[in-house]
């Protein structure tokens, strides 16, 4: 009679728990590779909108919709990416843009977008400054990158390319579209 609990335990594991364990193993196998995650991030980065802003938007289009930048930094060569970068600031709109060109005086396009507390623009997936972390996870969960840190940042894609949401007290305080690392 003392062996009954052991037999019952073995039966339980064989019938009930074993499929759960193999299901967990299958779930782990479906996790995207780092390359797949990076590729998904690049795709998102190239298609995501913040208001009308998007990656590789031409400078003339930016000015058409948002006017001239209040401040423009010096054009600098970023050796790591081989581009000439200039920062455009729109403090009243809560926006900072990194504009890129292949030549120092070449035509510029949006390379990175950073939205902060004054920004009222909304992403393609309906997220804005002030959205909750839960809303971000619901909207971008399938793209969650390994660099995400609950309560601090949610990386949709990867830091090499994608959308990064920063949180304070469970709310979005910054939205970044672009490459945060090389």
Do 71 and 146 lie in a common domain? yes
Q: What is the pLDDT of residue 120?
A: 98
Q: What is the pLDDT of residue 53?
A: 97
pLDDT along the chain (182 residues), means of 10: 47 46 49 77 85 97 98 96 97 98 97 97 97 98 93 93 96 94 66
C-alpha 73: how far from its chain's center?
25
Do 11 and 69 lie in a common domain? no
The number of C-alpha atoms within 13 Å of 85 and in the hemisphere containing its C-beta is: 14
Question: Which residues face 159 on adjacent strands?
Answer: none
Do 160 and 81 lie in a common domain? yes
Give the integer Cα–Cα distance in Å for 167 and 174.
7
Do 47 and 72 lie in a common domain? yes
Do 137 and 71 lie in a common domain? yes
Whole domain around residue 108: which residue ranges? 33-178
Tell me how many domains the chain contains: 2
Do 153 and 70 lie in a common domain? yes
Do 23 and 39 lie in a common domain? no
């Amino acid at each position: 009679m003392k062996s009954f609990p052991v037999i019952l335990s073995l039966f339980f594991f064989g019938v009930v728990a074993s499929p759960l364990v193999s299901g967990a193993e299958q779930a782990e196998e479906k996790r995207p590779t780092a390359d797949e995650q990076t590729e998904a991030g690049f795709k998102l980065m190239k298609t995501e909108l913040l208001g009308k802003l998007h990656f590789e938007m031409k400078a003339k289009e930016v000015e058409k919709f948002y006017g001239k930048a209040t401040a423009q930094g010096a054009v600098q060569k970023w050796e790591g990416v081989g581009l000439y970068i200039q920062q455009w600031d729109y403090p009243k709109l809560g926006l900072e843009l990194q504009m890129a060109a292949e030549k120092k005086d070449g035509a510029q396009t949006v390379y990175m977008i950073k939205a902060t507390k004054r920004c009222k623009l909304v992403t393609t997936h309906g997220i804005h400054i002030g959205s909750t972390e839960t809303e971000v996870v619901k909207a971008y969960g399938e793209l969650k990158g390994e660099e995400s840190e609950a309560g601090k940042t949610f990386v949709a894609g990867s830091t090499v390319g994608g959308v990064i949401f920063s949180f304070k007290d469970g709310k979005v305080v910054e939205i970044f579209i672009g490459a945060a690392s090389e």
